Each structure stands twice: as structure tokens, then as C-alpha cells.
Structure 1
Amino acid sequence: MASVLMTSEDLHCRLCTEFFRQPKILRCGHTFCLHCLSVWVDHHKAKRHGYFHCPTCDEELKTPAGGLETLTTNILALKDKPVIEPEIENADIMGGHCRVHDKAFTLYCKMCEVPLCVSCKMPAHKGHRVAQLREVAVDFRERISNQLKTLKSKVTEAEDLCDALDKYDKAIDDIKNEVQARAEELKTAVNNYCETITKELSDSEMTEEKIMARMTLASLKGRYLEYSKLIKEDTQNTEDITIVNLGTQLQQTLDTLDNNSLDFPCDNPLTFITGEAIDNIDIPAWFGEVHVNIHRSGSNVNNVSQSSEPALDPPSFPNSTSSPINLDDVVTSRNSRNRTNGNISPAGSSNSSTWDTSDLLNAMNSKPDLQVLSGKSETLPARTSGYDIYASATLPNNNRRVSSLGTAGRTGNRKKGRIIGTFQGLASNRDHCRPTAIDVVGDMIVVIDRYLNKVLMYDKMGHIKFEIGPQQGLDNPRDVVITKGKNMAVLDCGSKEVKYFTGQRKMFTPLGKFLRAFRLNELHQEPQRMAINHKDELLITDDHTKSVAVYSKEGRLIHTIPSRKGERLFEAPKYIAVGPRNEIIVSDWQGHCIKAFDSHGRFLFQYGSMGTDLGQFLHPCGITVDTVGHIIVCDNRNNRIHLLTEDGNFRLNLQTETDGLHNPQDVCVNKYGHLMIAESSGIIKTLKYLKDEY
């Protein structure tokens, strides 16, 4: 027997009185056929545009943006016939009496699931399994008891769902208010700053000076006209005494003017340094973002594929929101070869993210249900290789993050990201910087300027906040790295030392305070650049020995690459980076390539050659490894930035000369996963190149 859930009346549309066809449930809880509802809305418009009234309760409802078809389907009404009140011909079930034979029901047909009298058994139910009604009733009483328990639990579950949805609506309203308050707060801050500048300009007005200048001008003009009239063109006819007196008075006037300067008070009286252009500001990072943790049935993560290569299906995530990140939860695809790890589906598989009632309740009860983030998102390392990349991670705030670069052919026809910030690096004396290295500590951007012999620190808007220079003992700085303790280790080629300074302002320690230093080995006479591995060990390239030296944080030389004397692996080792497994990656300035080694110095691969084609370099410079394992290299003279897979295969050019890139010198990745680019001219750019879906 079917479960007793709805009556026959519940399965009929109140507009057409027929069984539901495409039943759509409204926000008020009433259900109608899609066609019937469409006709009703067309003929019963509400006063407000885009609204209609429920045919049953007359509640005013908003028409969905995607049309009535996008309303939720009432799956409980998707039945071909009622699930109770079965039509039993010639029977009065509730009365317990057969109207055909005028006899009481004493039997029950298990095959037809109907009660019978003695006469009903023949011939309609001949050969069927028939039992005594009294025995069947005992089973039904127990079954009904269990069904009622199940129904009660479903009622409780539905109540919890409604409560969760109410909380969700309240969370939306709260965040709307928070967003408006945030907007007002920012608006007030901008207005206050505007008033401050206006007041400062008003205070700087030179009203008195202007009045005095006007008076002086009038006096000088008067004297000039007076003297001009007295001095005739033919001075020979003028009396001598008059000429002497006029000459004396005129000289006195000129002497007075010499003692009172008529020059403007300063050479450059007023300058307005405009801030970042609105188009270049990352509004979500500045204002905040809304992240929703609910994946509705059939929702997909969009791929950014732009080519004919096979694209990966979007990843499906487990229901749990508290599992730690699996560093191997990555799918890669190279042509027809696919690999799957962890919870990610292989290419060609069909799976979409779905949820049932318990999933929704878990999502609603998880923290946070719905939140506004300040633009700060943790970036966890994951492994990638190949051409098609999806990396998933469970972040500390329980948001799931999918980073994707899309799919494309080897021509590099991919979305390359967009520049979200640009500024001209300046020192405190307004001199343009010429960066040779860039790194980040927190929200601060650290730039090495070897021409000014300074370490320059900027905020993310490009304002100079602090600098360390010769007064702090720097001679010829070349590179800087950030230690685990958020201190700055600066490679000083002039003194052949590594010097440590504080990288953040702490309670009892100022920013940029000198901490300690250690001297390099006497063999390393031409140190070039530096990197730091996961053990806080420093890796330094040296052009004199054509090698890489690995030092402990205390300054002890651990080993070199190459380790054998006389072996030559580099032409001119320059920049250096460390991979997620402590791989050592070096850009060879004169060799026009990069070379990779494991942590023990064993050769792994080489990428690049001299030239201008794809996969070639003209003097590679800065190099870094991003949060998902890509190797990113500055191609200085070709005016482009290469993005490679972790095993050294070309993937695409992130930026080229056509994008406005000129002589990229160094790169690094900030805590938001954006690429920081330092050009030789001192231009600092922020590139958002990973597509993030939450």
C-alpha cells in the first residue's frame, strides 16, 4: 500500500482542478500548474510592475528574474494519481461494507491491496493472495505506527528547514544592512578626507600676500608713469639738477625693490598627486565580498576554457565542510590523458553538485551561513601539472575555493587575467626607484632599489611607508626575502653579508630595526639574488663561482650546487626561487633558460633557450612559484612573463608587451594569490590571473 502523504485534493491544481502538470510552488506555499499560473499572471497584473498576487491567498509576490519557469518544482505533487483514496469499484471502505453484495468486509486482497467480502473473492480476485482482514489489520496497525513516526520526523525536519531558511533570510537582511553601512562608512571617510584637503588648501591661500603684491604693483606703475613724464625723449634739454634728483630717487626705488624680493615663495607651490585610478582598484578587496556556502541542485563551477581541447567537468565536493585540505585534490589533463586524485572527478565524467534536506540544513547550521569578507582569503598550497587545472581547498572560514586557469591550445590563447593595481615606485625624496627585487610582508610591498641603495616599503595603494638605506648600514642591497618570523633578510652585495631587519611593527619593536647579520663565505664574491626555503635556509646565487650556495639561518654554509669543484651548470645564475617540495629553480641570465634541481642539488629539468619564440628567453630575470605550483618567470628583454607547469612545460604568457608590460625585473605572489610585478622603470603592477570560485 502506498504511503499516506497527501489527499487527492492536494494533488489538484486549484485553477484547473486537474492533477498537477509541472507543479510550481510559490513563496506563500501554494502550488499551481506552470501553465495555469502563467495564464493567471498574464490576466491578473499587480499594481507594482513585476509583481503578481497568489490566486489562493492573494499575497503579493515578485515575478522571478528568470520567469515563472525558475520557480521551485513541488516534487511532492509530481504524482500521476492520488496516493490515498484509491478508487475501489462498488465499495464503501470507510463504512466497512460492500455495496455490491451488501456484505461486510472480512477478507483482504494483498495483490490488489483492497478489502473484500466473501462474494467479492470470486471471480474478480480468483488466484490472488487473499488473507483474513483481521490478520492484515494487525500488520497495518504496526505499519501505521511506524509511518506516523516517520511522518513526525519529516514534520520536524521540515520545521527545521523553515527555521533555517528564516535565519538565512535574516542573515541576508543583516548583510544588506552591513553592506549599506560599509558603503556609508567609506563615503563618510572619502568626504572627510575631501574636507581635510579642502581645508588645507583654504589654509594655504595667500590672501595677504596677494593684497600686498597688488599694492606694490600699483605703486610701481605709478612711479614708472611719473618718472616717464618727467624724463623727456631729448634729455639734453632737461635741467641738470632735475636729472640728478630723478636719477637719485630712481636708484633708491630700485635698491628698495632689491631688498624686497618679488619672487614667488617657492618653485613648486602646489601639487596634487592623484591616487589610484578607479579602474585599477580591486573593489572587492577594498570593500568586501559576499560568499554563499550553498550549492543548489544542478549548479556547476564554470570553466573558463577558450579552446577546442577537452575541458574538465567541474569538481564535486564532499558534503563535509570541516575536512582538511588534501594537497593532492587536483585534476590535470594533457590531451587525452586524465588523472584524478582525492575528491575531484576525471575529465568526461558526469557529476553535478546536489543536495538534499539534510545537506541544506548542514549548510545552514555551519558557520558562517553567509558572510561578508574583507577581501582577505587564505591561499593554501596545492599540486598542479598539465594543462587543465582545478585545485580545491577547504579554507579556515569553511569556504571552498576552486582555482582554475581554464583550457587552451599550446598557442597560449587563454584568459591571462587583468591588472587590478598600478603605481610608480618612489622614494621618500620623490626619486623614481629602479627595482631589482620585490617581495611582500603582510599587506606591505617590499622593493629593493640598488641605485638608491635602499629597501623601500609601500602599502598596497603605493604610498611609501618606510625605507632602509645607507644610514642603517646598507651598502649595495640586491635582494630581500621574508622569513617565517616576518623579518626581512636583505642580501647586501657591498659588504658580502645577509642582514636581518624587522618586517612588521610590533609592540616593543619598530619597523625596520636592525637585528643581526652574517658574512658570506669568502668564495662567494659576487652574490646576485636570494631565496628562502621551508626550513628558513637561504639560497644565494653567486656569479663568481657560477653556483648556488645554501646557508642556514645562522649563516653556516650547508652545501653548494654544483657540489663538485670544476663542474659548471650555469653561465650566469641570477634569480632563484623555491618550489613547494623545496625544489630549487634558477634563472640563467646568460644561458637564457631556467634550471630546476631537487633540494639535494640533483638536476630535474631545464626550460628555455635564446630567442623570441614561445618557450624562449632573452635574459630571464625574476622567478617565483605561486600557490598552486606554477613557475612564473620574467622574460626581461622580450617584455613578457612565462607561466609554466611545475614540471617545466610552457602554459601561457601571463603578460606581454601588447598588455603594456615593459622589462619585467622581478615577480612575487601576495597573500591574496595575486602576482606582483616590478618593472625596471619602477612601475609596480598587481595581476589577478587565477579565477577563483567560492
Structure 2
Amino acid sequence: MALSKILSEDFLTCIICRERYEEPKILPCVHSFCKKCLEEHVKVKLDRKRRFPCPMCRRECKLPEKGAENLEKSRLLANLAEVVNKVDEAKTQDKCETCALKEPPVDADATKRCLKCDDNMCDVCSAEHRRHGACRDHQLIPLGELSDETYASELRSRQQILCNHDNKTPAEVFCCACEMFICGTCVCLEHKDHACKYIPSAAKGGRESLANAQEEIGQQERRVTSLLSIMKERKMGLYRHSEKLKESISNREEEVIALVRISGDRMRKEVDEAMIQEKEVLDPMEKELELIQGCFVSFKEFTNALIIHGSDPEVLQIMANCLRRGKELTEMNLPSIPSTIRLTLDVKHVNNMSTVLRQCMGELRHAMDKELLWSFCVDLNSDPPETLSHVAVDAEGRVFVGVWCNKDTKRNKVNVYDVGRRLMATITNPELTGGSLAGIAFDQDGNVVVRSQSDNLVMIYSREGKLQSDFHSQQPHAVSVNSKGEYVIAGREAIYIHDKDGVVAHSFPDPLQGNAFKHVAVSVTGDILVSHPGAHKVLAYNPVSGVLKFTYEANGCGDGHVNVPKGMCCLANGDIILADDGNHRLHLLSPDGVFKKFLLTKEDELKSPQDVALNPDGKVVVVEERGAVKCFAFLD
């Protein structure tokens, strides 16, 4: 950091009075304040043990017997403030000081300043000044350049430190044992057996120690920054969840608007109160973390300025205090972020809403992570055996479940269940030559899109099961629809994008081929995600160029490992949920394919998940191979 920048910024401003430091005192926490400001602060905050909190970080400090006067002086800030004051003073003197001493006085504008004499002079006087023998080596600079670093650096170089014993003789040596600046005479008289070093040599070691302390503080600061980021995201999530919860309450209220207005107001108030209670827990924690972060930032700013711009005496004078404070910050126990308690809305269907208003509106309760909201089992045949293969949920909450029969693919079908999980329709096509009806997606009109690999067909049905249209696609394994309404088909050997009329707009090869049926999904950003169960991989492609963007692989059972990946869906923030058939779990991936965590595992009684989808409320619906359809709610 340049010296001129330090002199022009808030580095020399006391945070209490918001003025330039006057007689700055430095506390053990390395925060500095004007002596008068500290005296006023101590009057209010001093306790019976003569301790007071730092006005910035609240660290407890001991007040000397003689008061703030005996608190340690901040030489760095005092010397820098002195430089700034002299620069400001020089700028205000716009008349030639030599001409003013003539008889009679002459009123001449000053154009230059002598750095040695600290006088402003006009062009004539400055020329005469240079011709004088004793002044020939004096440096003259134009007044317009007083704000540049040259003048400030010259003033800094002329600042001296005096021997701590007589406060008169210039100090040349630093006593490491006593932490004092001393002259050569005092080395022999008072510090003969002490570890003494010349000030430049001692300051060099001090700078190295401070640099090491900065590195350690930097690591701790990064941890605090991460915690603050998590805290802010948690608060935002709390707000979003509260807003979403209130929206759910309002939607429910509209169904019985004449009877539930009062109840709706009551429940929204409960949500707000719950959010306030959680904020009362999170806000102090956030402020504490911001306070700690401020300590790290101020420590780094101060020590950085001390390392770069501090004179040798200044470095040595405050080095030990800085190192002690650095150790305190490095070893500081950071607070842990408390878990938040959220409310959820229990909704129950009732007949007599006028008499059971509370049941009709539902009840607020604490939500649970991985909560199973509902489940049902599809009635599957055992001979020939049937399994579940796909799931999708439309905008109205109807659940579409794919049923697969490996021995007789003409029996394949899609069951349609209403919001009460009652079977309302079945989509079949017995006229298919090879059967293999599978895959479920919705076009922009809400129609159901399925495929038949052996017939090289993609078919569009109404939600009631009536065939609307079909088009040819080469050996389609899986189907999806992008935001443009185009059909995205994962074929056996390539990825095809068909326009709304079923014509291939473009395609690109898919390097992984096999007999195991693929699954396909379109991410929030439009990328095409293809899972390859046989290869134990998930590939993500750019939808236009076909360039591979990432691969999620590593066959196994550890974090980030998959064993027969199946269906996928994408959250609004771009995260990806992946069904891991062989490991009986759901993976949560970042938008760029990085493993984040497991949403559900075998311990959550998840068995052979085949596909996953989101319902209109953002809940996760998953189908298991043996017939179970389950809906889960997650806190995050």
C-alpha cells in the first residue's frame, strides 16, 4: 500500500471522533484511538477491576494506574499524523515566507518549498536560496507536488526516535529483552548482558515475524469469511422459506376465503414470530462474526502498514504487541453456527370446513429434514415381473409413473395419479411393434412425451392417455423437453434435438453406448444431462456445440461415487438431484457436477431409486424399483 494512499484514506481517522488522530494510543488488541476519545470511553465503561472493553472489538483491556496517559503510544499513527499535518500546513502557506521578512515586507506568491528548511518561497527567493553555499544541497519541490509521495517520504525520513532513558539522544539500538530503544552509551551501562541489536537488524526480524503472523491470520480470516457466507445464506434461506410458507398459507386460504381469513392472519403472524425468534439467534452470531472479521481486517491493515511503512523503531516498538494479538486471533475459538428451527404447514383434507376450520387451514409445526410426506405402492404383476422405471409430476401435481416389464415390453405403461394419489388414467400403446414404451416428459402444452426404442418413435399423449402425434427418432433411450419446447432425445449413439414438429434441428454423438437405457434431463442453464447406468457416469453437454462440460463418475460407494446412476431432476438454483440405483441413495450435485451431499440413503429406507422429479411445491418425488412412490421434503 502506497504511503500517499494511507495518508489520504481513513487509516489515520479515529473511529470514535471521526477526526485525524491526536495523541493516538494503541490497545493490546492493536486498535488505536485518540487519547481524549479513550478517556471519555473509559469514564463510561471502566469497571471495578480497572478494565474496559475496546470500543471496536470489545476485548477487555487493563487501564494503567495513571489512566489513559500511560497507555502505549502508537508511534506509527502518531508519526504518520504528524506528516499529514505538516503537508496540510505547507499547502496553506501560499505566500513567500522569505519575502515577508524583508523591509519593507513583499507580498509574493510562493511557488516552491524547501524540504530542509520547511519554508515556502517564490521563484526569486528559491533561486537565491540555491546559490547560498550552505543551501546548495537543499531539495526544492513545486507546491503543486506537495501531495505527492516525495514530500511525505522526506518528512518520514527526518523523524527520529530518542533513547528511552534520557529521551534526548538518538537511539541506535533496540534491546530485545526490555523492548526499548537505546543509544550506544546505554547499551554498555544499562543493557550490557541483554540481547541487543541495531535497529535495522532487529526491525528486519520483526517484519518477518509479522509477515508470518499475517499469513496465519489470513487463514483464520478465510474461515470466518466462509462462516459469514454460510450465515448470510442461512438467513436468506430462512427468509425465502418464510415467504414460501406464507404463500402456501395464502393459497390454502383462498380455497375457503370466507371462513379462514382470520385464521390465515393468525398463522402468518406465527410464521413471522418464528422468523423473528430465529433472527434473534442468528443476528447476534452474525454481528459477532463480523466483529471478529473486522479484527482480522484491521490487524492485517495495521501490520501491513507497519511492515511496509513503519520505521525500524516503530516496527520494533509495536512488534511484540502485534505478535501477541496475532496469536490471540489465530487461537481464537470461532463460534459455531446454530441450527435453525423451521415451521412447516400440515394440510389435511376435510369435508365440513365451517366446523373444522383449523384442520382445513392446517397447522404450523417444526419441519423435519428428509421428511416423508406421503407414499403409495403401485400394484405390480409378479408374473411376468414388473418394475417402476420413471416418474414425472405435472404443474397440477398429478404423478406419472412408468411401469416396465422386461420379459414382455408390450405391457409397459404409464400410470397417472391425481393429487390424492388415486389412479385416474393409464397410457399404453399395444400397437407398438416392439413395445418398450418408457420415459416421461411434458411438452409446453402439458402433453405427455414418451418413447419406444425398438420402434424408433417418440409419442405425444394427452394426460388422459390419447395419442396426439408421434415422430421418428433413432433408437431413443430417454426423452426430455427444454425451455424452448424442443424435444431432447438421448439415443443409443447420439443426442438429438427435435423442433416442435419433430424435425431434427441438430445432433451430436454420445461417446458412451450400451444396452442399459439412459436417462436424460435439461438443466436450468439448458445443458443436457445424460446418465449412463452401464458406464456408471453422468455426462453434461453444451446443447448447441455438444461440447462435454463435465463428467460425474467414479464407480463405488463413497462420497461422489455412483453405482448404476438413473434419473435426474434440477432444482431452481441449478443443483442436480441424481438417483443412484446400486447404492440406494440420492446425490445432490452442484450445477457444474461437483458432489455436495447425499439427500437420501439406504438408512432413510430408500431402496433402488429409479427416477426422481419435483412437484409444484418443490418437494422431491422418487420411485423405487419394486413399486414404491415416495414424496420427501428437505429443509435446504
Q: When the two structures are superposed, what TM-score results if normalisation uses the length of structure 2?
A: 0.42
Structure having the higher helix fraction is 2
Q: When the two structures are superposed, what TM-score results if normalisation uses the length of structure 1?
A: 0.39
